[in-house]
């Protein structure tokens, strides 16, 4: 069914809880419905959202917001080892993770409890605890708004990178309608992330569900519960520095948390930098830096305005720049 609403309240559709609205809201529940929409009748600009868990609305949206309610999970190839499934873009990622872990399939368990929907996860290349969703994506089916036709991308064509993809670079052109996942029955726990490795040091014969439970409890300790405090998860990306930049950041510290990434670059947790600048738990009006994970900005009272969040964001960027000479970039998309 297609739903079209006007002056639609978006409060429940952004996890930051910004009280904003859009001129027109369109929700559809199949790719056929999407293709048959009379696009020219919807006011521009257009914005397609997923679970609204990585967005900061900077004000009311004077255009059309689209949302997918394509919700199916189809197991298309059940091999002895590999299992292929195609999943509608509107399926809640964590419901999919729960289901596949329950079937003993490996691949998605480290991504437990990430808010948001499957389509947006494939656009944003969400990641946590040593896994990025691209690792288990075998293909992405889209509707091309420019050519008005269905297109299928193999994973390399999606040009995935850290919280990035071709879909983000070709902004507004493709609407993801379904994602093909490749999971496995083969025992393959990914425990490189230090917090996880420690928990399971003594254990063999783990199940995907056990890892899922561990990830859920780690996230509960560090990240705000979206049903209690509004946020959009990590607000900034972790900066990737050259060796020389890292040496300059590390000056005067005995140790600086970091890890080496492709090309010999050094990723430094922005959380650490923000904490060094004294912002951990810092509150300004209704906006705050989360006390357990300073990478997360929160709507502390539920009444924060976009201006309050942005002003805190800018203060943090400036402080980190002054102290470390490093420019932080938001991970959260500003609309
Ligand atoms: N840290 C501090 N102070 C703190 C918290 C953390 O200094 O109060 C430092 C510590 O050195 C810690 C390091 O930051 O070891 C890393 O912290 P954490 O493991 O929480 O991960 P992160 O790098 O801050 C990234 C992702 C998260 C993801 C976690 C776990 C980004 C932008 N964020 O955060 O993703 O859950 O790793 O894999 O890459 C999200 O994207 O919304 C998100 C929550």
Buried b (16+ CB within 10 A) or exposed e, 167-191: beeeeeebbbbbbbbbbeeeeebbb
What local confidence, expressed as pLDDT, does residue 227 receive? Answer: 86
CA angle at residue 290 from 217 to 165, to 5 degrees? 75
CB of 272 closer than 6 angstroms to any ligand 1 atom? yes
Q: Are 282 and 298 in contact (CB under 8 A)?
A: no
Alpha carbon nearest to ligand 1 atom 5, residue: 293
What local confidence, expressed as pLDDT, does residue 107 receive? Answer: 98
Q: Which of 31, 113, 231, 234 is catalytic?
A: 234
Tokens of 330: 């938001």
Instruction: Work out whether the CA dihedral 112, 116, 121, 127 comes out positive or negative.
Output: negative
What local confidence, expressed as pLDDT, does residue 196 receive? Answer: 86
What local confidence, expressed as pLDDT, does residue 278 receive? Answer: 97
Q: What is the number of the ligand 1 atom nearest to the C-alpha of 294?
A: 8
CB of 295 closer than 6 angstroms to any ligand 1 atom? yes
Alpha carbon nearest to ligand 1 atom 28, residue: 128
What local confidence, expressed as pLDDT, does residue 193 receive? Answer: 85
CA 295 to ligand 1 center in whole angstroms: 7
Q: What is the number of the ligand 1 atom nearest to the C-alpha of 276?
A: 7
pLDDT tens-digit series, residues 131-166 = 999 999 999 999 999 999 999 999 999 999 999 999
pTM over 0.85? The answer is yes
Instruction: Work out whether the CA dihedral 126, 168, 184, 83 comes out positive or negative.
Output: positive
Q: What is the 3-state secondary structure (H, E, C) of the chain?
A: CCEEEEEEECHHHCCCCCCCEEEEEEEECCHHHHHCCCHHHCCCCEEEECCCCCEECCCCEEEEEEEECCCCEEEEEECCCEEEEEEECCCEHHHHHHHHHHCCCECCHHHCCCCCEHHHHHHHCCEECCEEHHHHEEEEEEEECCCCEEEEEEHHHHCCECCECHHHHCCCCEEEEEEEEEEECCCCCCCCCHHHHHHCCCCCCCCHHHHHHHHHHHHHHHCCCCCCCEEEEECECCCEECHHHHHHHHCCCCCCCCEEEHHHEEECCHHHHHHHCCCCCCEECCEEECCCCCCEEEECCCCCCHHHHHHHHHHHHHHHHHHHCCCCCECCEEC
CA 285 to ligand 1 center in whole angstroms: 25
Q: What is the number of the ligand 1 atom nearest to the C-alpha of 126?
A: 41
Best probe residue, ligand 1, of 272, 274, 296, 324 (max atoms within 8 Å of C-beta): 272
Q: How far apart are CA 100 and CA 260, in angstroms?
A: 31
CA 69 to ligand 1 center in whole angstroms: 31
For this structure, is 333 an active site residue? Answer: no
DSSP-assigned beta bridge partners for residue 56: 334
Tokens of 108: 């998605």
pLDDT tens-digit series, residues 192-222 = 887 788 887 767 889 999 999 999 999 999 9
What local confidence, expressed as pLDDT, does residue 112 receive? Answer: 98
What local confidence, expressed as pLDDT, does residue 199 receive? Answer: 81
Which residue has 């255009």 as its token pair? Answer: 63
- pLDDT-above-70 percentage for the chain: 99
pLDDT in tens, the chain (335 residues): 999 999 999 999 999 999 999 999 999 999 999 999 999 999 999 999 999 999 999 999 999 999 999 999 999 999 999 999 999 999 999 999 999 999 999 999 999 999 999 999 999 999 999 999 999 999 999 999 999 999 999 999 999 999 999 999 998 999 999 999 999 999 999 998 877 888 877 678 899 999 999 999 999 999 999 889 999 999 999 999 999 999 999 999 999 999 998 899 999 999 999 999 999 999 999 999 999 999 999 999 999 999 999 999 999 999 999 999 999 999 999 99
Q: How far apart are CA 197 and CA 204, in angstroms?
A: 12
């Amino acid at each position: 069914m297609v739903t079209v609403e006007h002056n639609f309240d978006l409060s429940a559709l952004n996890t930051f809880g910004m009280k904003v609205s859009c001129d027109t809201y369109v929700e559809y529940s199949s790719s056929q419905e999407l293709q048959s929409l009379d696009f020219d009748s919807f006011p521009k600009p257009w914005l397609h959202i997923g679970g609204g868990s990585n967005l900061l609305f900077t004000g009311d949206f004077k255009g059309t917001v689209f949302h997918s309610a394509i919700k199916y999970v189809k197991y298309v190839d059940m091999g002895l080892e590999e299992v292929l499934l195609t999943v509608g873009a509107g399926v809640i990622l964590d419901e999919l993770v729960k289901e596949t872990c329950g079937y003993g399939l490996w691949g998605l368990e480290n991504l437990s409890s990430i808010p948001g929907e499957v389509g947006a996860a494939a656009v944003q290349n969400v990641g946590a605890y040593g896994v990025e969703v691209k690792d288990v994506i075998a293909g992405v089916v889209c509707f091309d708004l420019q050519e008005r036709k269905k297109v299928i991308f193999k994973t390399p064509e999606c040009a995935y990178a850290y919280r990035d993809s071709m879909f983000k670079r070709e902004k507004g052109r493709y609407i993801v309608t379904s994602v093909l996942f490749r999971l496995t029955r083969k025992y393959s726990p990914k425990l490189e992330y230090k917090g996880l490795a420690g928990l399971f040091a003594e254990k063999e014969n783990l199940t995907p569900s056990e890892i899922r439970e561990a990830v859920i409890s780690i996230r509960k300790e560090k990240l705000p519960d979206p049903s209690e405090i509004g946020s959009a998860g990590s607000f900034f990306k972790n900066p990737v520095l050259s060796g020389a930049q890292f040496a300059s950041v590390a000056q005067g510290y005995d140790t600086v948390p970091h890890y080496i990434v492709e090309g010999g670059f050094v990723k430094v947790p922005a959380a650490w930098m923000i904490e060094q600048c004294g912002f951990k738990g810092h509150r300004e009006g209704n906006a705050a830096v989360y006390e357990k994970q300073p990478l997360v900005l929160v709507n502390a009272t539920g009444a924060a305005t976009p201006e309050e969040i942005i002003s805190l964001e800018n203060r943090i960027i400036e402080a980190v720049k002054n102290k470390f000479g490093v420019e932080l970039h938001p991970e959260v998309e500003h609309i």
